[in-house]
């Protein structure tokens, strides 16, 4: 029985390899129509027929198929440099670039895109998990899937080899946080450092920043990008984050990416989600404390800055936090991000409802009601007051009712 156009011709070559061709729309070269066809091959005839059916299906859906050949390595370079930056933030691109170049490229880069199989990719991801971590493996899986989605969209491959590959399971780990006693003692110690007549960069110079992290649970970049005009009489507004980028990364950012150049490689950028745009009620002692810092700062300048007025490098601040904890006699390894976990833990101790906790720290990962996201309600005010009391005294206050808040 003769095959119709597009049904493919099947044959076995001199090496015993089964091959099949699919007729494609002709191209025009020098005013002449030129015949085109897509050839698939396999050592196994059954597998070949499966490839042939997939090619026929893709041809019917797309109207044409790519006959070009490209390696994953070459596609990664194009994707990282030209395609992904137009829809992803510079911060996100840093993560993509690092993981794809360090983990995916060495393991799969030499493979042709059209020859990547689910098994190859599964083996590579499992190797990453065995030699690195489950988090790195999950990132590699997700990032490579995005890379191959665009390869399908651009016609380099006809189907997505990761379509049915499950994401590796994450290994649960509990982030270290300060307990109540440690948090109270640290606040007292920082207060003593600020009262000393001599100043040093580690304690007195940065103590206002450390105290604000502990009393708000703000993210690292949120306070480093905070300007004096965002501290009002009764509120603290967090709407930007300080981040470090190469100017080239900013130039390739999406058109709607909001940023403000501060100095050198430092930029203020908007949070990745609207949940990050939030206001805190200023309660004592944070209210009086921040107002004193504002009074000593340039108008509309950064609230927490280097002595010369330029931004702090976020990575440098992370290192200085660790040095400060050692100087304060805290031996536990608690990262700066652990200050956020500390605040969350204390709010749970105070039996603050989870939606209010998420409002305070700006989380958006849990499905909670956010009917009062744009403007905090009385419940948030009570929660901040209770946490402030706990942080100052170490004693749990009489628990407030949040039913009406």
Q: Report pLDDT for 30.
A: 81
| Helices 207-216 and 338-349: angle between axes, nearest 10 degrees | 40
Query: Among residues 20, 39, 62, which one ends one of the domains?
Result: 62
The enclosing domain of 296 has a CATH number of 1.10.443.10
Q: Hey, how many other C-beta atoms are within 10 angstroms of the C-beta on 284?
A: 11
Does one domain contain both 308 and 275? yes
Structure tokens belonging to residue 273: 């989600």
Query: Among residues 19, 38, 62, which one ends one of the domains?
Result: 62
Does one domain contain both 229 and 350? yes
Q: What contacts 139, CB < 8 A, 6 or more positions away?
A: 95, 99
Instruction: Report yes or no on 168 lying in a domain.
Output: no
Does one domain contain both 190 and 335? yes
Instruction: Report yes or no on 30 lying in a domain.
Output: yes
Query: Among residues 116, 138, 153, which one ends one of the domains?
Result: 153
Instruction: Report yes or no on 242 lying in a domain.
Output: yes
Which residues of the chain are under the pLDDT cut of 50? 1-7, 204, 365-376, 403-405
Instruction: Report yes or no on 400 lying in a domain.
Output: no
Reference 388, options 289, 241, 279, 240; nearest CA is: 289
Q: Report pLDDT for 395.
A: 67
Does one domain contain both 105 and 244? no
Does one domain contain both 132 and 280? no
Tokens 């004693």 belong to which residue? 395
Cβ-contact 350, 377 below 8 angstroms:
no
How many structural domains is the chain composed of? 3
Q: Report pLDDT for 390.
A: 77
**DSSP per residue, 25-85:** EEEEETTEEEEEEEEEEESSHHHHHHHHHHHHHHHHHHS-------BHHHHHHHIIIIIGG
Q: Report pLDDT for 56.
A: 87
Does one domain contain both 249 and 301? yes
Domain range enclosing 88: 72-153
Q: Report pLDDT for 362.
A: 76
Instruction: Report yes or no on 165 lying in a domain.
Output: no
Instruction: Report yes or no on 174 lying in a domain.
Output: no
Q: Report pLDDT for 166.
A: 95
Does one domain contain both 27 and 126? no
Q: Report pLDDT for 291.
A: 93
Q: Report pLDDT for 163.
A: 94
Burial of 145 (0-12, 13-18, 19+ CB in 10 A): middle
| Helices 314-327 and 207-216: angle between axes, nearest 10 degrees | 90
Does one domain contain both 317 and 293? yes
Instruction: Report yes or no on 105 lying in a domain.
Output: yes
Does one domain contain both 56 and 76? no
Structure tokens belonging to residue 216: 């708000």
Does one domain contain both 138 and 43? no
Does one domain contain both 233 and 377? yes
Instruction: Report yes or no on 173 lying in a domain.
Output: no
Q: Report pLDDT for 31.
A: 82
Bridging pattern class, strands 235-238 and 32-42: unpaired
The enclosing domain of 149 has a CATH number of 1.10.150.130
Q: What contacts 62, CB < 8 A, 6 or more positions away?
A: 155, 158
Does one domain contain both 223 and 365? yes
Q: Report pLDDT for 275.
A: 65
């Amino acid at each position: 029985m003769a095959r119709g156009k597009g049904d493919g011709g099947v044959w076995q070559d001199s090496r015993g390899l089964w091959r099949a061709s699919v007729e494609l729309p002709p191209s025009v070269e020098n005013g002449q129509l030129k015949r085109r066809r897509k050839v698939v091959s396999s050592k196994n005839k059954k597998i070949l027929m499966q490839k042939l059916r997939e090619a026929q299906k893709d041809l019917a859906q797309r109207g044409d198929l790519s006959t070009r050949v490209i390696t994953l390595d070459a596609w990664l370079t194009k994707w990282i440099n030209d395609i992904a930056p137009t829809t992803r933030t510079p911060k996100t691109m840093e993560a993509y670039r690092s993981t794809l170049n360090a983990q995916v490229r060495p393991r799969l880069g030499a493979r042709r895109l059209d020859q990547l199989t689910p098994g190859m990719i599964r083996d590579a991801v499992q190797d990453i998990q065995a030699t690195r971590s489950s988090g790195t493996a999950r990132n590699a899986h997700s990032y490579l899937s995005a890379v191959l989605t665009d390869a399908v969209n651009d016609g380099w491959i006809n189907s997505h080899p990761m379509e049915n590959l499950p994401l590796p399971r994450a290994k649960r780990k509990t982030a270290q946080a300060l307990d109540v006693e440690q948090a109270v003692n640290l606040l007292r110690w920082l207060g003593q450092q600020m009262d000393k007549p001599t100043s040093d960069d580690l304690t007195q110079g940065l103590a206002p920043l450390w105290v604000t992290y502990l009393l708000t649970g703000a993210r690292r970049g949120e306070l480093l990008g905070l300007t004096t005009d965002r501290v009002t009489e009764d509120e603290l507004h967090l709407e930007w984050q300080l981040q470090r980028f190469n100017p080239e990364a900013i130039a390739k950012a999406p058109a709607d990416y909001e940023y403000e150049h501060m100095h050198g490689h430092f930029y203020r950028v908007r949070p990745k989600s609207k949940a990050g745009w939030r206001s805190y009620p200023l309660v004592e002692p944070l209210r009086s404390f921040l107002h004193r810092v504002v009074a000593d700062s340039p108008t509309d300048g950064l609230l927490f800055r280097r002595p010369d007025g330029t931004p702090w490098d976020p990575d440098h601040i992370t290192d200085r936090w660790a040095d400060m904890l050692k100087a304060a006699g805290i031996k536990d390894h608690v990262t700066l991000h652990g200050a956020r976990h500390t605040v969350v833990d204390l709010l749970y101790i105070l039996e603050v409802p989870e939606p209010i906790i998420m409002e305070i720290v700006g989380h958006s990962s849990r499905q909670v009601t956010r009917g009062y996201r744009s403007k905090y309600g009385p419940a948030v005010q009570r929660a901040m007051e209770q946490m402030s009391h706990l942080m100052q005294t170490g004693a749990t206050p009489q628990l407030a009712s949040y039913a009406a808040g």
